Amino acid sequence: MSKITHIKAGSNCYLIQQNGSAILVDTGFIGNEKKILAACKDLPVKLIVITHGHLDHIQNAAFLSEQLHVPIAMSRYDLDLVRDNLCREMKSKGLLGHIVRVFSILSAKGARMRDFTPDIFLKEGDHLNQYGVNAEILELPGHTEGSIGIKLDDCIFVGDALMNILTPRVSLIYENRNEMLKSAEKITGLGELQIYYGHGKTTSNRKWVDNYAGL
């Protein structure tokens, strides 16, 4: 049985506890690092997993890795975003998407962040058992090229491959819309699961293809 702790840090971060071990999913904006560190206190955190390379998910990664003495894992396909969060064009659809995209760009401009090099590069089908958590990595490209999800038996952590801003939906901003929709369809195919978003409250899985038209 997994215990999941939600930490609000500009984006959603999560602690997954299982089998006497824990992993931290994403690291939030600077200014939240002490809150996250306090949540990790006295827990056997073995790994930090980054769902994708956007600032609101990676900004505290170097600090937390150093303080917790644990490696950082992410997809190699988002490594360039660690160096420069504005190195790729983000697209959006609709007014809300435009607002989110502009906010994301403004947040990234001039943002402070300690550089880091991931210790582990994750790919489709990788398992996290050696870190004490029975979870599988799924590649979910579209929002970013290197977006990944972490699937447990009864839930999945999707980063920003899906969002729950006003309503559950596919991401409001993306690099490749076609790939994003394929990833959403892939999540639909997983069946009955709880979805843990990078933004918004947890919901049950659903047929995400039905949500495309309103974006």
**CATH number of the domain bearing residue 123:** 3.60.15.10
Give me the pLDDT at residue 113, please.
84
Residue 61 falls in which region: left (phi positive, over 0), alpha (psi -120 to 50) or beta: alpha
Q: Which band of pLDDT confidence, cut at 50, 70 and 90, is reported for residue 209? A: low
The tens digit of pLDDT for each residue in 130-146 reads 999 999 999 999 999 99
The pair phi, psi for residue 214, each rounded to 5°, is -85, 0
Q: Is pLDDT at 215 greater than 50 in this prediction?
A: no
Q: Which band of pLDDT confidence, cut at 50, 70 and 90, is reported for residue 32? A: very high
pTM of the model: 0.94
What total of structural domains would you count in the chain?
1
Instruction: Please calculate the CA angle 10-14-16 and round it to the nearest 5 degrees.
Output: 175
Domain that residue 28 falls in: 3-211
Tell me if residue 38 falls in helix, strand or coil: helix
Q: Which residue has the tokens 């809300």?
A: 96
